[in-house]
């Protein structure tokens, strides 16, 4: 499955990011001396975060896979947009901003426009609470997000602007926002995928998609580890991810390398990756991954 650089973090909703304001949560302050976004004053480089983000699948990509599985839209998989008011800390706001981004992508793929509007409102509220909502173009994004024919445009906008947003957060010593957006969005995508897979146990592609997340999990844990010594919340989240990794250690991924070839697609010469991978994952593994994922998610959305 092709990996898209889209920032599942801000999938579908933020078009730019402006100046922030000081908040009650130390990890999100703009003042470097008060912020735990750094470790002994050294921020994570843009290159490091950028390289890791390239390995993260878009929630839209996963949502398309779920729809192709033949399963109907199921809103019970999603975090209710009515929960927004419960998220009082910036840590919770950032994680659930990522979760709601994935949920919005899910509603978009199934063309559930009424639900999509609700999630957009929740996203806007959380973004405002994190001082990044003032540049949220709700009219443009709303028009694109409620029409599946605009999916390519939506992907392009989020892809182009993630780099701008991440660069801004870097300059404000708030790169941890990007990490939390990403973690929340990825976790929600995994949660939904596990839910669909449990109802569709013969779907091999869903099984493999869940297995592939072993690699993504390791990348997310690497990002969280940058903050474990400076922020208790992120250290606790890392511990939860370590428990999930213990389950994923049972999943085996075998790579078979084949030389890449060139081919013409729509008049453009592209490189085709001919390498393949084999994923060994049992129904018991999936059940355990699903339970652990739900446990972590329940802490976040509570």
Higher pLDDT: 22 or 178? It is: 178
Do 75 and 115 contact (CB within 8 A), yes or no? yes
Q: What pLDDT shows up at residue 263?
A: 85
DSSP state of 266: T
Q: What is the DSSP letter of 182?
A: H
Choose among 189, 230, 207: nearest CA to 42. Answer: 230
For residue 103, pLDDT beyond 50? yes
Q: What pLDDT shows up at residue 146?
A: 56
Where is pLDDT greater, at 36 or 111?
A: 111
pTM greater than 0.85 (yes/no): no
- Of the candidates 205, 180, 189, the one whose C-alpha atom is nearest the C-alpha of residue 78 is 189
pLDDT of residue 178: 81
Strand intervals (E) in the chain: 252-256, 261-265, 268-272, 276-280
Query: Which of the residue ranges 35-39, 222-226, 261-265, 290-294 would you say has the lowest mean pLDDT?
Result: 35-39
Average pLDDT score, the chain: 77
Q: Which residue did the predictor score with more confidence, 209 or 54?
A: 209
Does residue 40 register a pLDDT over 50? no
Percent of the chain with pLDDT over 90: 37
pLDDT of residue 149: 59
Asked whether the predicted pLDDT for residue 29 surpasses 50, the reply is no
- 224-269 residue pLDDT tens: 998 999 999 999 999 999 999 999 999 999 989 889 898 887 777 8
Task: Give the pLDDT band (50/70/90) at residue 135.
Answer: low
Q: Three-state DSSP class for 165?
A: helix
Could you tell me where the DSSP H helices lie in 39-174?
46-53, 59-68, 90-109, 113-129, 138-145, 151-171
Domain boundaries defined on the chain: 8-301
Spatial separation of the C-alpha atoms in residues 44 and 30, rounded to whole Å: 15
> Looking at per-residue confidence, does 252 or 173 come out higher?
252
């Amino acid at each position: 499955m092709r990996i898209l650089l889209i920032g599942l973090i801000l999938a579908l909703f933020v078009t730019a990011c402006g100046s922030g304001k000081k908040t009650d949560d130390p990890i999100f302050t703009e003042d470097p001396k008060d912020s735990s976004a750094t470790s002994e004053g050294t921020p994570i480089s843009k290159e490091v975060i950028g390289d890791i983000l390239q390995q993260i699948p878009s929630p839209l990509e996963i949502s398309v896979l779920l729809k192709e599985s033949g399963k109907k839209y199921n809103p019970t998989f999603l975090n209710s947009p009515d929960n927004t008011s419960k998220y009082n800390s910036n840590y919770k706001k950032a994680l659930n901003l990522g979760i709601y981004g994935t949920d919005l992508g899910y509603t978009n793929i199934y063309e559930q426009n009424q639900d999509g509007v609700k999630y957009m409102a929740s996203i806007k509220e959380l973004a405002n609470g994190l001082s990044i909502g003032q540049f949220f173009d709700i009219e443009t994004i709303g028009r694109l997000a409620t029409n599946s024919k605009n999916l390519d445009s939506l992907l392009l906008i989020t892809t182009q602007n993630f780099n701008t947003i991440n660069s801004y957060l870097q300059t404000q010593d708030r790169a941890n926002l990007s990490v939390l957006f990403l973690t929340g969005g990825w976790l929600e995508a995994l949660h939904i995928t596990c839910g669909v897979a449990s109802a569709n146990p013969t779907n091999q592609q869903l099984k493999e998609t869940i297995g592939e997340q072993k690699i993504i999990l390791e990348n997310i844990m690497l990002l969280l580890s940058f903050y474990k010594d400076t922020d208790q919340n992120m250290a606790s989240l890392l511990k939860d991810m370590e428990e999930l990794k213990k389950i994923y250690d049972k999943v085996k991924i075998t790579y078979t390398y084949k030389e890449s070839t060139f081919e013409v697609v729509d008049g453009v010469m592209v490189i085709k990756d001919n390498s393949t991978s084999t994923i060994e994952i049992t129904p018991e593994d999936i059940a355990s991954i699903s339970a652990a994922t739900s446990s972590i998610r329940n802490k976040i959305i509570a």
